[in-house]
Chain A
């Protein structure tokens, strides 16, 4: 009895398991493009969620569906794609049958290409002689991908083809093999003259693969041949790069090539040496530098910089005076990474100028790692000549030197407007909320024309991550400041955009000072969130100034119509209904009515 139950359970499990496979695959027969997509989706799900142990069973089920009559091409294509995951030698023969169908030759070949073992290759070779040309090319490519030596045999007739594209495919297949035999075929093939460049490219690829497989001597010999005698520039460059990585003496190779008349080759060499290790090469590059063409000089300076060859820096330093702007720029950039203390005055001079060289020099000074540079730059801040102070100040900012903040704050109160402007420019990017008090003090002392800029700087320092609270704190701190200073600070409330800041503005609107009152109204009219609406409504209803009434109403309408407005529809309608009777001009009434209509429409 117990045994019978066990057998019954076992059979049930098998039934469930097999139906889980069979069902999605059975429906595959109905699949076509645009028809019965879920059948293919179910099949894919079954394949992709299966453990590898279940692959043989899935393969069997898929092959069973493949045998069904009236199966669409799309379904067979889909089955092939799934067999690329679960397929094994078992599927080779049934899939190979599809090679004869033009629409399915590719999907079938693509299954066979990735299945290991001799059976797949044998099927591909069996079909090859009688296949159409596109199918033959596909099979050739698959055999090459599998690195089958049969490629050599099949390439022979292809290399004699009148079609250059067929010759190219043959050369690619042979080069992919990376064998001396394939290399010999490439080298000795009689090709039409226009295919010589393709031959050179194929030789380089074959040689690189041969060297990669351990036969360095053969690989290097073939690369040298193309490097020395090749005429197809990309092939020559590739041969050079191959020799640089596989050859023994990079420095010997580099010397002549950097002086080569083919600029593209020399530039490629300069790029390639960026990643070749060893100090010897760095020294060689430094020695060669004065003898090179300007464009190559710039590229070699870049290479030395990327390599980090400090020993070659003296050669670069002399190029800081180069007449060629590109070389000079490369030398300035190099100075930041490789330079020494002696380069500081030169960089400061460049940094005080204008254009790309000034910007590069400022960046270089920001990166330069030499002792006591910060102290040297800080001492320059006490100077009186703006053209000397500015580069030092910018360099200190680029270096993130916080010690520059106090002297720069001091400069904010300097009598020279140029020095004040420098301080404002540089402090932007250095100040933090630690400087709030000092900046407020500077604002109180600042002349009227620079008050707005100082206030902007102050706000950048003070606002932090809680701008609403920060504004109120700042406003309270400025309680003893002049009316003009407070009028400069008040508009910052709109940027804070919070309830506390809004309350400050509303309170100031009630103050007697006309300057502050006017500023408060202007600030309210710039408010970006709907919390300002009650205050704006109050302004509209109470003001005697028509312009304020009109602008206030427009802001209310804009805020209520805004997508970000969190108010409920009823709330918005109520506000607009209150606003409507306050409007005097017909166009303003129309504006509110239109807004009402828009909001009322669900």
Chain B
């Protein structure tokens, strides 16, 4: 008879577990809500950069959440994360001491902890596919920073894994949890500007096709090879992974193809997402993408099956997204910027017969609520993947410098083998993506 050992024990046995695994410290129910501990949701965060710190703090502010684990490939950041969590809970409990947070340098070790219910993933984009799928596979619910993945293949794998393993999955395109973005999309969906003809998106351009930064000495606390993970090898440079546990800026890995896709995906994952929401195309996408050619095509241009054109460029408009219809327009941006034509649309009250979109006022809270109820989140993996697909096919059009036909049903380019090859990127050994 085979002896059954849990995956956690397995990792311990095989030496994959370098750090300590611990059950969450039992804390008073008042700290995690009236019905704790039955209502308690244990959360960990993979990645401890600027974005991760914000998300970590946001989750710790939600009743019923107990934050129990920090993971980063930089030991210094792990240590700082543990200290912050322990300090926060010690203050909440009024005990002066709390030691319930564990730290890990390897995400696989963190995911093997059976006491962990859910994970926030806020790593550079080139890690999203592998960690996102691994988290679903480990039975954890997932909050994954946008864009959902670096490549189309990875995004599809994550969406399929979330479905397969029943994961409550939130993609961090958090503009959906803002009233102005929701209301503007509702105006468009209810036909109040007539049939949409054009959408204008204001975002920056793509990343550089390669990273030629010079080599620098690797900081002693950083596991550089693990930071690179599935990406092509290159020497360390601080622009990519800044040294220091308390570094507070966004590093520039976003600027290079190996790790991300520039503003096209970084901000695109927000604004394309809203454009899709308004158009009602959350589960499909455009059918053609044409890159700017310096001549008659001035800006990246997508076309949807119904003829709607989506023009993309840096500061094309003062708004992030503007839908232009036959009877008017709606423009929206952060900071509660909402302008409409006719102006009266901005104050319109939607009736019970109107299309009402999913309402969430707090993206993190929505995820936690859905973990309890198993309701779909406001930005599911499938939605996030379809949004990221727009970013990715745009990137491929930029790279190839030619118009491309896209079939949103088969999720393949039509008649362009080279473009289809670029939908995925092979991973550096030993990494492999399998759901």
Q: Is A464 an interface residue (CB 8 A)?
A: yes
* Min CB gap B414→A, angstroms: 14
User: Which residues of chain B come closer than 8 Å to A103, judged between CB atoms?
Assistant: 233
How far apart are the CA atoms of A37 and B209 in the complex, in Å?
11
Q: What does the 1/0 interface line of A159-199 toward B look like (CB < 8 Å)?
A: 00001110001001101100000000000000001111100
Contacts of A169 in B (CB 8 A): 430, 432
Q: B residues within 8 A CB of A373?
A: 352
CA distance A137 to B2 in the complex (A): 28
Say yes or no for B213: interface residue by CB 8 A criterion: yes
How long is the Cα–Cα vector from A167 to B420 in the complex, in angstroms? 31
User: Is B306 among interface residues, defined by CB-CB distance under 8 A?
Assistant: no
Asked if B28 CB lies within 8 Å of chain A CBs, one says no
- Whether B14 is near chain A, meaning CB under 8 Å from some CB there, is yes
Which residues of the other chain, A, contact B16 by a CB distance below 8 angstroms? 164-165
For residues 365 through 387 of chain B, which have their beta carbon under 8 Å from a beta carbon of chain A? Answer: 372-376
Specify which of B2, B137, B344, B432 is in contact with A141 (CB 8 Å cutoff).
B432
Q: Chain A residues near B9 (CB, 8 Å)? A: 194
Interface string of A257-281 (1 = CB under 8 A from B): 0000000100111111010000000
Q: Given the complex, which residues of A lie within 8 Å of B376, measured CB to CB?
A: 274, 306
Those of A68-99 within 8 Å (CB) of chain B: 74, 77-78, 81, 84-86
A342 lies within 8 A of chain B by Cβ: no
The 7 closest A-B pairs by CB, nearest first: A34-B214, A400-B349, A138-B429, A268-B166, A194-B10, A172-B434, A110-B426
Given contacts A238-B166, A299-B374, A430-B349, 16 further A-B contacts (CB under 8 A): A33-B214, A35-B212, A48-B400, A52-B416, A193-B3, A196-B2, A204-B164, A205-B434, A208-B164, A232-B7, A238-B165, A271-B168, A400-B352, A401-B349, A464-B343, A465-B343
CB–CB A114/B352 < 8 A: no
- The segment from A363-371, A473-481, A567-575 found at the interface with B is A363-371
> Once bound together, how far apart are the Cα atoms of A268 and B22, in whole Å?
26
| Complex Cα gap A578–B428 (Å) | 70
B347 CB–A CB distance under 8 Å: yes
Determine whether the beta carbon of B432 is less than 8 Å from that of A173: yes
> Can you pick out 11 interface pairs between chain A and chain B where the beta carbons lie within 8 Å of each other?
A52-B418, A81-B232, A103-B233, A137-B430, A138-B429, A234-B136, A268-B374, A363-B359, A366-B352, A400-B354, A429-B349
Q: From residue A348, how far is it (CB to closest CB) to chain B in Å?
A: 15
Please pick, from B13, B164, B428, the residue contacting A106 in the complex, using a CB distance under 8 A.
B428
Question: B215 an interface residue at 8 Å Cβ cutoff?
Answer: yes
A65 within 8 Å of B (CB atoms):
no
- A142 contacts B426, CB within 8 Å? yes
- Flag whether A231 is at the interface (Cβ < 8 A): yes
Q: Is A349 an interface residue (CB 8 A)?
A: no
Q: Could you tell me the distance between the alpha carbons of A567 and B294 in the complex, rounded to whole angstroms?
A: 39
- Let me know if B422 and A85 touch, CB within 8 A: yes
Does A40 make an interface contact (CB < 8 A)?
Answer: yes
Query: Which A-chain residue is minimally distant from B161 (CB atoms)?
Result: A238
Distance, CA A425 to CA B2, complexed state (A): 67
On whether the beta carbons of A193 and B5 are closer than 8 Å, the reply is yes
Chain B positions within 8 Å of A, measured between CB atoms, are 2-5, 7, 9-10, 13-14, 16, 136-139, 163-166, 168, 208-210, 212-215, 232-235, 343-344, 347-354, 356, 359, 372-376, 398-402, 416-418, 421-422, 425-432, 434-435
- Chain A residues with Cβ below 8 Å from B431 are 141
Complex contacts, A482 vs chain B, CB 8 Å: none
- State in angstroms the CA–CA spacing of A328 and B94 once bound together: 34
In the complex, the chain A residue whose C-beta lies closest to that of B417 is: A116
Contact B432 A234 (CB under 8 A): no
What residue in chain B is nearest A190 (Cβ atoms)? B2
When distances are taken between beta carbons in the complex, the residues of chain A under 8 Å from B354 are 400
A227 beta carbon closer than 8 Å to chain B: no
Q: Which residues of B contact A363 (CB under 8 A)?
A: 359
Contact between A194 and B351, CB atoms less than 8 A apart: no
Q: A33-B213, A40-B210, A241-B166 are in contact. Are A399 and B14 (CB under 8 A)?
A: no
A109 contacts the other chain (CB 8 A): yes
8 Å CB interface, A379-415 against B: 397, 399-402
Tell me the smallest distance from the CB of A11 to a CB of chain B, in Å: 28
With the chains together, A38 CA to B356 CA distance in Å? 51
**Cβ of A272: which chain B residues have Cβ within 8 Å of it?**
166
User: Are B214 and A35 in touch, CB under 8 angstroms?
Assistant: yes
Encode A292-309 as 1/0 by CB contact (under 8 A) with B.
Answer: 000000110011001000
Known contacts: A35-B214, A172-B434. The answer to whether A302 contacts B375 by CB under 8 A is yes
**Which A residues are in CB contact (< 8 Å) with B398?**
48
Other-chain contact of A175, B3, B138, B212, B434 (Cβ < 8 Å): B434
Q: At the interface, yes or no: A123 with Cβ under 8 Å from chain B?
A: no
Question: Is the Cβ of A44 less than 8 Å from the Cβ of B430?
Answer: no
Name the residue on A nearest B234 (C-beta). A33
Give the total number of A-B pairs whose CB atoms are below 8 A apart.
Answer: 188
B430 near A242 (CB under 8 angstroms)?
no
CA distance A77 to B2 in the complex (A): 46
Residue of A nearest to B359 (CB): A363
A195 to B354, CA, bound (A): 53
Q: Could you give, for residues 342-378 of chain A, a 1 whenever the CB lies within 8 Å of some chain B CB and a 0 otherwise? A: 0000000000000000000001001111000100000
- Asked if A31 is at the interface of the complex by the 8 Å CB criterion, the answer is yes
Task: Name the residue on A nearest B428 (C-beta).
Answer: A106
Give the distance to chain A from B192, nearest Cβ to Cβ, in Å: 13
Partner of A242, one of B164, B210, B234: B164
Q: Name which residue of chain B comes closest to A197, CB basis.
A: B7
* Chain A residue, CB-CB nearest to B257: A81
**Complex: how many Å from CA A49 to CA B292?**
12
A432 close to chain B: CB less than 8 A = yes
Closest to A242 in B: B164
Residues of B within 8 A of A110 (CB): 232, 425-426, 428
Interface: A107 (CB within 8 A) = yes
A195 to B5, CA, bound (A): 8
Q: A237 near B: Cβ within 8 Å? A: yes
Q: Which residues of the partner chain A approach B374 to less than 8 Å between Cβ atoms?
A: 267-268, 270-271, 299, 302-303
Give CA–CA (A141, B427) in the complex, Å.
9
Task: Determine if A51 and B402 form an interchain contact, defined as CB atoms under 8 angstroms apart.
Answer: yes
Closest partner residue, chain B, to A400 (CB atom): B349
Q: Are B429 and A33 closer than 8 Å at their CB atoms? A: no
- A271/B166 in contact, CB under 8 A: yes
A445 at the interface (CB under 8 A from B): no
Pick from B14, B138, B348, B416: contact of A234, CB under 8 Å: B138
Give the chain B neighbours of A438 by CB distance below 8 A.
Answer: none
- The residue from B163, B213, B352 contacting A241, defined by CB atoms under 8 A apart: B163
A111 CB to nearest chain B CB (Å) = 9
The answer to whether A330 has its CB under 8 Å from any CB of chain B is: yes
Contact of A194 among B5, B208, B234 (CB under 8 A): B5
Q: Is A515's beta carbon under 8 Å from chain B?
A: no
- Contact with B165, one of A113, A114, A237, A303 (Cβ below 8 angstroms): A237
Is the pair A326, B233 in contact by a Cβ cutoff of 8 Å? no
Quick check: A432 and B344 within 8 Å, CB to CB?
Answer: yes
With both beta carbons as reference points, the residue of chain B lying nearest to A296 in the complex is identified as B374
A233 close to B (CB within 8 Å):
yes
Taking a contact as CB atoms under 8 Å apart, the answer to whether B232 and A106 are in contact is yes
A141:B429 contact, CB within 8 angstroms? yes
Interface centre among B9, B351, B374, B417 (most CB of A within 10 A): B374
**Residue in A74, A163, A402 whose Cβ sees the most chain B Cβ within 10 Å:** A74
Is B435 a contact of A205 with CB atoms below 8 Å? yes
Neighbouring A residues of B5 by C-beta, 8 Å:
193-194
Task: Give chain A residues whose Cβ lies under 8 Å from the Cβ of B353.
Answer: 369
Q: Is A48 a contact of B399 with CB atoms below 8 Å?
A: yes
- In the bound complex, how far is the Cα of B166 from the Cα of A367, in angstroms? 29
Given A274-B376, A326-B372, A400-B351, A165:B356 Cβ within 8 A: no
Question: Across the interface, which residues of A come within 8 angstroms of B351, CB to CB?
Answer: 399-401
CA of A114 to CA of B426, assembled, Å: 8
Asked whether A165 lies within 8 Å of B14 as measured between CB atoms, the reply is yes
Which residues of the partner chain A approach B163 to less than 8 Å between Cβ atoms? 241
B residues near A299, Cβ cutoff 8 Å: 373-374
Q: Is the beta-carbon distance between B343 and A135 smaller than 8 angstroms? A: no
Decide if A144 is an interface residue (CB 8 Å cutoff).
yes
A285 at the interface (CB under 8 A from B): no
Query: In the complex where A106-B232, A165-B16, A194-B10 touch, is A238 in contact with B210 (Cβ < 8 A)?
Result: no
